[in-house]
Amino acid sequence: MTQSDTVEANKALIRRWFEEVWNQGRAEAISEMMSEECVNHGLSGDADNPLRGATGFLPFHTQFRNAFPHIEVVVEDVLAEGDKVAARCSVRGKHEGDGLGFKATEAMVNFDGIGIGRVENGMFVETWNSFDFATMYRQLGV
């Protein structure tokens, strides 16, 4: 596979990630695209204890999809170089479930974020996530 092929494959992987894992809610797709050795920075709330592997990511996914069962993540831009790929996203949804630890507010949220992934053998092996959860919580009145 050429460098150009790898870059294009990595771009397709991150687009597939947001479409299948988030928009379609396919929890089984997590282990199809994320290695069990993957270290997921920026999602645990504790920088010293990132979420680890597809198994460690699954509870975060379940919690968030419970809170926003009809979430829509729009990939606005994708950039890739070497083994890394980045996506700038817009996130929209209605808070319809209690997955965030408090009763559903029925409020709409709209916030942005960036996800960066390092890819080996067609799977994410490390990710860095920076989503504007502060704006999301403010929109929920928390």
Query: What is the residue-level pLDDT of the chain in tens, covering all 142 positions?
Result: 687 799 999 999 999 999 999 999 999 999 999 999 999 999 988 888 999 999 999 999 999 999 999 999 999 999 999 999 999 999 999 999 998 989 999 999 999 999 999 999 999 999 999 999 999 999 999 8
User: Are the C-beta atoms of residues 105 and 99 closer than 8 Å to each other?
Assistant: no
Q: What is the pLDDT of residue 3?
A: 75
Q: Which fold has domain 3-139?
A: Nuclear Transport Factor 2; Chain: A, (3.10.450)
Rounded Cα distance between 37 and 29, Å, is 16
Rounded Cα distance between 107 and 94, Å, is 6
